[in-house]
Amino acid sequence: MKKYYFNLLVVTALMIFVGCSNNKTTNKDTETKDIKIDGSSTVYPITEAIAEEFRNVAPNVRVTVGVSGTGGGFKKFSRGETDISNASRPIKESEALLCEENNISYLELSVAYDGLAVIINPENDWVDYFTVEELNKIWHPDGQNTLMYWNQIRDEWPAEEIHLFGPGTASGTYDYFAEVICGKKVGTRGDYTASEDDHVLVQGVANDKYGLGFFGLAYYEENKDKLKLVGVDNGSGAVTPSMETVSNGTYSPLSRPIFIYASNKAKSNKEVSDFVNFYLSNAKDLVQDVGYIPLTDEEYNYEIKKFADFLK
Amino acid sequence: MNNGKINRVKDTIFKYVGILACSIGLILLAIFIGNILIDGFSRIDLDFLTSLPSRKAEKAGILTAWSGSLWIVVLTFFISVPIGVCAGIYLEEYGKKGRLTNLLEINISNLAGVPSIIYGLLGLEIFVRLSKMGSSVLAGSFTLSLLILPIIIVATREALRAVPSSIRAASYGLGASKWQTIWYQVLPASSGGILTGVILAISRAVGETAPLIVVGALAYVPFTPKGIMDEFTVLPIQIFNWVSRPQHEFSINAAAAIIILLIITFALNGIAVYFRNKWQKKLS
């Protein structure tokens, strides 16, 4: 009994001691090099795929990827704690200022497109497309408790209640949709079924004839048989999102580029610059593998050139 | 009907209400575990346990996740148990009833209710940045230790309080000092209760995600931690990551990872229960 407690104390003391002493001489192995990446969970699957493939090319480089979110990622990036930051939106002015204060310069590189799908139940046979104005009318905060029926959108649609589904307000997808449909800093109405889990939204619309929802295009692609995709008309005709319409920019405004930000550490650190180059030259196939839409070849080449200029 | 009969009927009714109340939780748990087993059981094999994460669901494994979880749990145990038990002993046996003790007690009860993400922010500032531990296994363990300390302290105090005063009196009567009484009599007698608290606390630590994400646990780590200063990921983060993927194959992976997480939790609890029973037998 006595011995047990004694051992426990010794082990703990030892561990704390080792922890502190190890601290001062942070292990700088000459063999392995680290590349630290953090940021948006939207970009994460792409970066993970690239990091996985990069292991085959450079087995001695340890690439780690975190998911602190775009904002959290930039915070670490501006402190110099990471080499590359994943971002589902461009850097904010305040974040750019922080980088400047800490002498971190950076380069924004687009790596893929992310499309938002507006979807309805397959049994819904009255909706052919939405105009951006109609989507605005449906989702605008003013619509809360006033716009409740389908025939309030277009007269010929049924006098049935409309049931809305969308991501929760904490998600980047929500921010993006709210901004382009309802305007900056307006937000959307609050009386919709919100879930951070997009699978819940898929189930919701799939089981509700009068449902309407929006989420990432990849979720529609995985559940094509249960859902119906609706085209969006921004004034120049209704366009449904597809690989083609998203990447050539005609499916607007519900598609956006997603980014990685490379820090100036890439200039002195060959591993980081190798990784970014590998990223841009292999993104095309890998982006599709994980359900996003790649840029065109010219656009990737442009990004590669931009990065080469940045390194100079 | 006379009064006695009515009371007996009430008695029976309450009994069934009680059974229902008990079974709701168990049935839901059974449905949940059943579901997970159906989804994930066939996915578990040696490859799944020994592979690195991958974008291809069928090739992805949880080697880094479970080894990270194991490191975190073991370290957290060795950090939090001595501190928590010592604090409990002090408050229960030595602390004089006064303003300070009162304040401590209120704060400890309050801390038990603080959302875990707040502990994450605390850990990020104190351990990751000020103590310069970085996003290491050690920083994660210290953060989780803070999180579960209140549970351990409260459980220790309850267990100490449950020790019959006759044991203490007898020990003092034989001329033992206060420390001797605590060390040789009170602690062994209360070890069962203390361990129960520790089990609950550690089980909570195994499942925590939010504070570790804040501290900087990663999602993609292509290596297992070799020491306490290495970066890490844990099972709950890997599960969350897979659940939020659109492809159905990843949900199967998540289910399989949940099974492994449950197994780890059960195993840890099993070990603790084993020791508890062993020590309790010794005592009687």
Residue B278 contacts A, CB cutoff 8 Å: no
- Same domain for A136 and A230? yes
pLDDT in the model for residue B71: 92
What one-character DSSP code corresponds to residue A73? H
pLDDT tops 80 at residue A25? no
A-B CB pairs within 8 A amount to 106
Fold of B64-232: MetI-like fold (1.10.3720)
A249 and A127 in a common domain: yes
Q: Indicate whether this complex's ipTM tops 0.90.
A: no
Q: What is the pLDDT of residues B129-156, one digit of tens each?
A: 888 888 889 999 999 999 999 999 999 9
B274 touches B255 (CB < 8 A):
no
Q: Please state, in angstroms and rounded to a whole number, the distance separating the CA atoms of residues A102 and B274.
A: 54
Residues A162 and A293 in one domain: no
CA distances to B7, B8, B281 from B3, in Å: 6, 9, 46
CA distances from A276 to A50, A273, B189 (A): 10, 5, 61
**Structure-block tokens of residue B283:** 């005592």
Question: If pLDDT is split at 50, 70 and 90, which confidence band does A183 have?
Answer: confident
The stretch A241-265 carries a mean pLDDT of 89
What whole-number distance in Å separates Cα of residue A120 and Cα of residue A211? Answer: 6
The arithmetic mean of pLDDT across residues B263-270, rounded, is 84
H or E segment to which residue B137 belongs = helix B137-161
Question: Is the model's pLDDT at A26 over the cut of 50?
Answer: no
Q: How far apart are CA A152 and CA A133, in angstroms?
A: 13
pLDDT at A180 over 80: yes
A97 touching B (Cβ < 8 Å): no
Residues A249 and A264 in one domain: no
Q: Which of A151-155, B53-57, B161-165 has the lowest mean pLDDT?
A: B53-57
Please provide residue A237's backbone torsions phi and psi, each rounded to the nearest 5 degrees.
Answer: 95, 155
Do A215 and A286 fall within a single domain? Answer: no
A131 and A212 assigned to the same domain: yes
Q: Within this chain, do residues A119 and A108 fall inside the same structural domain, yes or no?
A: no
A114-128 pLDDT tens trace? 889 999 999 999 999
The residues, any chain, with a CB within 8 Å of residue B202's CB and separated by 6 or more, are: B73, B76, B77, B148, B268, B272
Same domain, A63 and A147: no
CA-nearest of B246, B31, B8 to A217 is B246
Owner of token pair 């048989």: A225
Residue (of A116, A124, A131) closest to A179 by Cα position:
A116
Does some domain include residue A58?
yes
- The answer to whether residue A13 is domain-embedded is no
Q: Which of A41, A46, A67 is the best mutation test for B, with the most CBs of B within 10 A?
A: A67
For chain A, what is the domain count? 2
pLDDT band for A11, please (50, 70, 90 cuts).
low
User: What's the token pair of residue A161?
Assistant: 């209640």
CATH code at position A128: 3.40.190.10
The nearest alpha carbon in chain B to A27 belongs to B229
Does A35 fall in a domain?
yes
In the predicted model, is pLDDT for residue A276 greater than 70?
A: yes
> Does residue B246 contact residue A167 with C-beta atoms inside 8 Å?
no
Maximum mean pLDDT: which of A8-17, A90-99, B89-98 = A90-99
What pLDDT, on a 0 to 100 scale, did the predictor assign at position A20? 43
Section A157-183 average pLDDT: 88
Residue of B218, B239, B251 to mutate for A, most A C-beta atoms under 10 A: B218
Q: Would an 8 Å CB–CB cutoff place A87 in contact with chain B?
A: no
Q: Say yes or no: B35 contacts chain A, CB-CB below 8 A.
A: no
Calpha distance A178→A194 (Å, rounded): 13
Residue of A nearest to B218 (CA): A66
pTM, whole model, 2 decimals?
0.79
State the average pLDDT over residues A261-284.
91
pLDDT at A145: 87
One domain for residues A49 and A78:
yes
- Chain B neighbors of A38, CB-CB under 8 A: 216, 218
Distance set, CA A225 to CA A127, A221, B12 (Å): 18, 9, 51
Is the same domain home to A296 and A236? no
A4 belongs to a structural domain: no
A218–chain B nearest CA distance, Å: 6
Do residue A9 and residue B219 have CB atoms under 8 angstroms apart? Answer: no
Q: Is residue A5 part of a domain?
A: no
Q: Which of A104-113, A124-133, A225-234, B204-213 has the lowest mean pLDDT?
A: B204-213
Question: CA-to-CA distance for A52 and B193, rounded, in angstroms?
Answer: 47
Domain boundaries, position A263: 30-113+258-311
Q: Which two tokens stand for residue B75?
A: 């370290």
Same domain, A149 and A228: yes
| Sequence spans of domains, chain B | 3-43, 64-232
Q: Which of residues 56-115 of B touch A (CB under 8 A)?
A: 56, 75, 78-79, 81-82
How many Å lie between the alpha carbon of A76 and the closest alpha carbon of chain B?
Answer: 10
pLDDT-derived band at A30, boundaries 50, 70, 90:
very low
Q: Is the peptide bond before B53 cis (omega within 30 degrees of 0)?
A: no
pLDDT band at A248 (very low <50, low <70, confident <90, very high): confident
Amino acid identity for residue A270 in this structure: K
Helix-helix angle B248-283:B63-89, to 10 degrees: 30
Write down which residue in A225, A255, A285 finishes a domain. Answer: A255
Alpha carbon separation from A281 to A294, A298, B203, B220 (Å, rounded) = 11, 11, 45, 21
CB A115 within 8 A of CB A251: yes
pLDDT reading at A67 higher than 80: yes
Q: Which residue has the higher pLDDT, B207 or A139?
A: A139
Per-residue pLDDT band for A106 (boundaries 50, 70, 90) equals very high
| Cβ pair A286:B55 closer than 8 A | yes
